[in-house]
Structure 1
Amino acid sequence: MTSSLIGPLTIPRQSGDRRHWSNLPGSASSLLIAETIAQEQQFCLVVAADMQSAERIYHELNFFLNAAGVEPSNLVQLFPDWETLVYDNFSPHQDIISERLRILNQLPSMTAGALVVPATTLMHKIAPPSFSLGSSLVLDVGQKFDIKDMRRQLESAAYRCVETVLEHGEFAVRGAIMDVFPMGTDHPYRLDLFDDEIESLRTFDPETQLSVNKVTSVRLLPAREYPLTTAAINRFQDAWHLKFHSDPRRCPIYQDISQGLSPAGVEYYLPLFFESSATLFDYLPEGALVVSEDIDATLRRHWRDAESRFESLRYDIEKPILPPEEILLSADQLLTACNLRPRIEIKEASHQQGDQFSFAQLPDVAIIERGQQPLEKLQLLLKQPALKILIITESNGRREVVDELLGRHHINTQIVDSWHEFLSHSAAVQLAVAPMERGLLLPASNLLVLTEQQLFGQHVLQKRRRDRQKDNAAEPVIKSLTELHIDSPVVHIDHGVGRYLGLQTLSIDNQETEFLTLGYQNDARLYVPVSALHLISRYAAADETLAPLHKLGGDTWEKAKRKAAEQVRDVAAELLNIYARREAKKGFAFPEPDEAYEEFAATFPFEETPDQQNAIERVISDMVTEKAMDHLICGDVG
């Protein structure tokens, strides 16, 4: 294969064939993988040394694959780790399980793209494809439907019956309506039944509980990575008796599974549910290419940690545990599985038989703080003829900061939206937004990619992104039913303080409508349509346990509102007096922020939150005028 950017690439084709890539600084290895996928329509299993490296490669592949003119999200997937320690008493979050099940169902049919996985995650034994691929259920509009039978099926698939569906793996039944949040989907679904038939299927917003779009069918994946059918429970019990000699009556996990429950930490007993477990390798499409970082040390360290934890926990008679070899692949087993497939190893050091590429070490372009020419290193690079530079920032806000900084030093820039657009544009310096930490230098093609980390000499946190459109965090208005829990105090604008008792479906004029049920004194009930959620606000006092309970139809609430209005008027009069005296007083006007201030602000390694940005702008606005200012800025860490 010949890449337009890199030149010839030799890709192993046969099982057992191996190649080595070495001396690939920065994100060069990700560009090579992206070129392999784009040019060869190849599927790659990319094995990263750890989760941090996996996330970094995932973002880099998504960015570089834009060069192929395809939607990256359909090509590159990140297989999430359970995020638990071996033998933990905790289970993974349902969103993690949902993403894993979605990927496992798609993986065998993928013909091109990449699955990025940390090496330690790849070690875990998982459910066989016969379960993950064969336990789904498709529901269609017009299909015959028995709600009691469906409820049993969902519970056997480990779905939880709840009052209000908010998370993956939950379902709720209210009369002839069933809500369910299938694993592997972005939205929950609402099934409206007419007699014994599905009349309509709609997505709905879990925050507002309002229906959104009509659909014709929905696929339900199991809610866990193990079954809870009668046959699976019996298999678990039989395997338990064979593996362990402790009294099962003293083992909470055994008792919970026997009752069809999903106890925390049961994932480390997963082999007991199946005749034989599997690994991620069993799901790979035919011809998959394995591309791995230097993972040997990571695998062996993880195996030693698992053995150590096993030795310290194995003597608990109430929680006997399986040995590491039954729940994990050893380092040697995993490396053997990699070597049975076409494989490329990425090595940091030079390799005698490794493929050589024309990448080079990234130049030092760090901004010189407090220097007369802070961008001197970058300006020297720009004197090289034909060199194209792409500077990547982590957000639009940071891109604007860098753009302004370059502009003040007479460096013209072009804003682009993708790697593909950068390659096709002729501007010497271009700016793009992507969650990338590493750049690259390709001298043969006169291409240099820089990130904020290279410019500012520090790590820019990618996870500090916030919605700048509107900050409603401090508002007492309830925007979402997820903000409420049963018995939480709420305030109705007309009826005062009550307690939220949940959702209820009522039939009015032969039309079923969802209502919030609020409880008041003397067991009185107030039913508020979901569409009137704006009439309800959170109880804003410090201690919810001391919230009063008003009487429907009483005058306590009206008296409280009148008293509050009087206090507001008194405070307003006092504030007006303070503001009037402040306006009459002359203060000191500071000069407008200069270039030194802007360069100092640009070194802040985070994107400012809306509150931070608002506070900064208001303080500066007052400082540059003669108006006396009086600001108190409060902040907390975390």
Structure 2
Amino acid sequence: QGMEQWLPLFYESLDSLFDYLPDQAQIFLDNQAESARAERWDLIADAYDGRVEAAKTKGAASSNRALAPRSLYLDAGDWNQALAGRAVRRFTPFSSGGEDAGGRLGRTFAAERAQDSVNLFEAVAAYAQALKTEGKRVLFASWTEGSSERLATMLADHGLDHIVAARDWADVQAAPKDIYLRGVLPVEHGFATDEVAVISETDILGDRLARPRKKRRASNFLAEASALTTGDLVVHLDHGIGRYEGLKTLDIQQAPHDCLELLYAGESKLYLPVENIDLLTRYGSDSEGAQLDRLGGAGWQARKSKAKERLRAMAEGLIALAAKRALRETEAVVPPSGLFAEFCARFPYEETDDQLNAIGDVLED
């Protein structure tokens, strides 16, 4: 509800990330990180100045309740002071005469992924064995612990038997060179130094093409008032079908408040605060002949009750069908673990929640 912008009013001071870091922690800044910080600060400052000027123009300075940016964020001086006295390393893609840590971009297996005749994991295992022959520690980096375990299982099927989990970089540095390592290290691409070679999950399996995750809501859920146009029919969860008449600003407790103006039967109007827009859904594509509900009337509640009864009957039918399926038995089919794991790993998309549920249901059925 926006209360976080008033945190300085409730606490004497606000902690930043630097307050949680030990004194000996090294700070690594990505290329252009400080430029991005400065641009974000300018954006915040401009937004604050705009609110101040708008309040002055309306002649009601008290309506601007935003706090100054410096009370909420680290300005340039605070930022430099937080970095002072710490070991700071700044990454750059250019050869600028700075310190070279010796890391070089590792190889990918895009060519092997594109050839059905080549076993991807055999190629990865052969490459890892060659790296170990060169005297390097080999670390397989994955995005999650689960994917790390699955990758180790698949590689074990192709000759890499001793793959040990590493908790942190200190474990990697202290590990003997006759074993392989795995761990959770969210890097896009692997790299190699004189001592260590990192092979990332993305190097092996390629980019996971993440589908946009939809929130589990109705497709006609209204995310914001801008999705509506004047005259659209909407359905209020408690009051039924109404017509959207536009946005209207009301003075509530001496403060302006944006509300959606909804027209109902009998010229009745309902003003819905914009933060409660989740109570609305679109009426549907075919609105011709639709009748507006009456505020406080029993018609909408009666239709909701009938719909609930129909849904309850449908649910009972589905439960009965599920019970019949649960009572039937057949011979279980167990896929070969290694081949099935490889098949799953080469799926180039991030599974949706519905897909994961369906996969789980099939495997458990």
Per the TM superposition, whether the score is higher than 0.5 is yes
Q: How does 1:275-290 map to 2 (within 5 A)?
A: none
Q: Could you say if the C-alpha distance between residues 146 and 493 of structure 1 is closer, same or farther in structure 2, counting changes exceeding 3 Å?
A: closer
CA-based RMSD of the aligned residues comes to 5.0
Residue 615 of structure 1 aligns to which amino acid in structure 2?
Answer: A
Residue 139 of structure 1 aligns to which amino acid in structure 2?
Answer: D
1:528 maps to what in 2?
272
2:352 and 2:202 mapped to 1: Cα distance?
20
2:153 and 2:353 mapped to 1: Cα distance?
20
Q: Which ranges of structure 2 fall in alignment gaps of 5 or more residues?
A: 1-24, 76-91, 97-101
2:207 maps to what in 1?
460
1:447 and 2:196 are equivalent in the alignment? yes
1:196 and 1:473 mapped to 2: Cα distance?
41
1:564 and 2:312 are equivalent in the alignment? no
The correspondence for 1:70, drawn from 22, 28, 43, is 28
User: How much does 1:549 deviate?
Assistant: 4.3
Residue 596 of structure 1 aligns to which amino acid in structure 2?
Answer: L
- Identity value in percent: 21
1:372 and 1:476 mapped to 2: Cα distance?
41
2:248 maps to what in 1?
504
1:591 maps to what in 2?
334
Contact 2:106–2:198 (CA under 8 A) maintained in structure 1: no
1:547 and 1:481 mapped to 2: Cα distance?
26
2:199 and 2:276 mapped to 1: Cα distance?
51
Contact 1:389–1:448 (CA under 8 A) maintained in structure 2: yes
1:200 maps to what in 2?
65
TM-score where L is the length of structure 2: 0.62
2:226 and 2:156 mapped to 1: Cα distance?
45
Q: Could you say if the C-alpha distance between residues 516 and 382 of structure 1 is closer, same or farther in structure 2, counting changes exceeding 3 Å?
A: same
Contact 2:250–2:258 (CA under 8 A) maintained in structure 1: yes
Q: How does 1:245-394 map to 2 (within 5 A)?
A: 362=107, 376-378=125-127, 380-381=129-130, 383-384=132-133, 386-393=135-142
User: How much does 1:526 deviate?
Assistant: 0.8
TM-score where L is the length of structure 1: 0.39
Deviations 1:444-483 (A, max 9, x none): x222232345434xx424x52766xxx6244468584268
Q: Could you say if the C-alpha distance between residues 423 and 486 of structure 1 is closer, same or farther in structure 2, counting changes exceeding 3 Å?
A: farther
- Paired residue secondary structure (1:586): coil
1:431 and 2:178 are equivalent in the alignment? no
Residue 174 of structure 2 aligns to which amino acid in structure 1?
Answer: S
Q: Could you say if the C-alpha distance between residues 592 and 537 of structure 1 is closer, same or farther in structure 2, counting changes exceeding 3 Å?
A: farther
Return the structure number with greater helix share. Answer: 2
1:508 and 1:103 mapped to 2: Cα distance?
33
1:385 and 1:72 mapped to 2: Cα distance?
31
- Paired residue secondary structure (2:326): helix
Q: Which ranges of structure 1 fall in alignment gaps of 5 or more residues?
A: 1-66, 79-98, 107-134, 150-175, 177-193, 204-212, 220-289, 293-342, 345-356, 623-638
1:490 maps to what in 2?
234
- Paired residue secondary structure (1:551): coil
Contact 1:405–1:599 (CA under 8 A) maintained in structure 2: yes
1:476 and 1:358 mapped to 2: Cα distance?
48
- Paired residue secondary structure (2:301): helix
User: How much does 1:606 deviate?
Assistant: 2.7
1:392 and 1:200 mapped to 2: Cα distance?
47
Q: Could you say if the C-alpha distance between residues 381 and 548 of structure 1 is closer, same or farther in structure 2, counting changes exceeding 3 Å?
A: farther
Deviations 1:226-261 (A, max 9, x none): xxxxxxxxxxxxxxxxxxxxxxxxxxxxxxxxxxxx
1:360 and 1:572 mapped to 2: Cα distance?
55
1:593 and 1:616 mapped to 2: Cα distance?
16
1:414 maps to what in 2?
166
1:139 and 2:63 are equivalent in the alignment? no
1:550 and 1:465 mapped to 2: Cα distance?
38
Q: Could you say if the C-alpha distance between residues 562 and 398 of structure 1 is closer, same or farther in structure 2, counting changes exceeding 3 Å?
A: same
Q: How many positions carry a matched residue from both structures?
A: 308
Q: Could you say if the C-alpha distance between residues 214 and 499 of structure 1 is closer, same or farther in structure 2, counting changes exceeding 3 Å?
A: farther
